[in-house]
Amino acid sequence: MTTLRQFEYLVTVVDTGSFTRAAELLHVTQPALSHQVRALEKAVGGPLLERLPRAVRPTPMGRAVLPHARAALADAERLRAAALSAAGLAGGELELATVYSVSLGLLPPVLRAWRAAHPEVRIRLREFAHTEDLRAAMTAGQADVAVGPLPTGWEGPIRELGVEEFVLVLPADEPDEPGGPGRPDGPGGSDAPVPLAALAGRDWVHYAPGNGLADVLDAACAEAGFRPGVAVRTEQTAAAPLLAAAGLGPALVPANIVPPGFDGLVRRPEPPVRRPLVAYTRTRPDALTTAFVELLSRRVRLLPDGSDGGSAGGVEGAAAGSADVPTDGFS
């Protein structure tokens, strides 16, 4: 079997025209150099160098092999440079996987900050409709790091990001009835939460069965003692608050996807609906992945601007309660 070291020996001998000079440049003994050249000749099936009294020149076979040896050495150097560049965050590519709602609500400002800090690092983003699809993609090696809900039984490194909170969206002209939603104080909050049970008789803006948020809505309503009726199902997470604001029915959405200046009625549900979000990898992350996750953990905003301290405090408390999530590999 040929090796890059043998190619390096061959090229250096040819370039210097001397075994003695080549051995000096390569910091090896001349017998060791000669042995490796003979091993290469044996591997390719013939002599590569002609040893003259005062020089060394390549044979016809040597001249045929030499361009390939140089190319292999050049490729190896490019590989090494790419690895060093990525480790130094001066280049390379990061493959990132997530679910639709996270790419919509959480990642844009994070990716903007990453791009500003590391403009030469390319980001390849893969988006999935369901947490299990995301987990399967990571297991299959389709990305370097995943950002999304905590995967069940994941054995690789995990970094906690916090707990995202869900809100109810209704039309801005929702009637103010006793025990009902009432009027908002502004985007992202109001004085009192809305009991989910108070909306049991309504048809909802639901999600397509393959969308993981469909499971979140069904589970929240089940906890409140009812099964939600369906006015419309959407595959697009971003469409849910718009359809709810248009009057099709209430929607349950991550608070961070509600756009600034949204004119619908946004209220917290009772009981609260929350889910932990994490970043996770298959093995101990390299320098590039670690740097991204560190920036992500600093910049990610689980609640939109304008949320009050009571909401934020609830999220922080929930995050603190999930301290048993392993974080090996992220330091």
SS (H, E, C) 42-81: HHHCCCCEEECCCCEEECHHHHHHHHHHHHHHHHHHHHHH
Residue 259: its pLDDT value, please? 84
The answer to whether 209 touches 225, Cβ cutoff 8 Å, is no
Identify the residue whose tokens are 């060093």: 84
Residue 320: its pLDDT value, please? 30
- Of 219, 216, 182, nearest to 198 by C-alpha is 182
pLDDT in tens, 182-234: 444 434 444 589 999 999 999 999 999 999 999 999 999 999 999 999 999 99
Residue 270: its pLDDT value, please? 94
Residue 117: its pLDDT value, please? 87
Helices and strands in the chain, H and E counts? 11, 13
Rg of the chain, C-alpha, whole Å = 30
The tokens for 175 are: 């009637």
Residue 269: its pLDDT value, please? 95
Residue 85: its pLDDT value, please? 64
Distance CA 297, CA 115 (A): 16
Q: Which 3 state secondary structure label does DSSP give 323?
A: coil
Residue 285's CB is within 10 A of a number of other CB atoms, namely 22
Q: What is the distance between the terminal CA atoms of the chain, rounded to a whole angstrom? A: 40
Q: Which residues contact 20 (CB under 8 A, 6 or more apart)?
A: 30
pTM higher than the cut 0.85: no
Residue 216: its pLDDT value, please? 96
- Of 22, 104, 98, 10, nearest to 48 by C-alpha is 10
Distance CA 4, CA 43 (A): 13
Phi, psi angle pair for 328, to nearest 5°: -55, 135
Residue 191: its pLDDT value, please? 55
Residue 184: its pLDDT value, please? 40
Distance CA 89, CA 286 (A): 11
Q: Which 3 state secondary structure label does DSSP give 17?
A: coil
Residue 185: its pLDDT value, please? 41
Identify the residue whose tokens are 């040896």: 69
Could you tell me whether strands 56-58 and 93-99 are parallel, antiparallel, or unpaired per DSSP bridges? unpaired
Residue 89: its pLDDT value, please? 65
Distance CA 291, CA 122 (A): 14
* Regions in the chain scoring below 70 on pLDDT: 80-81, 83-91, 176-191, 304-331
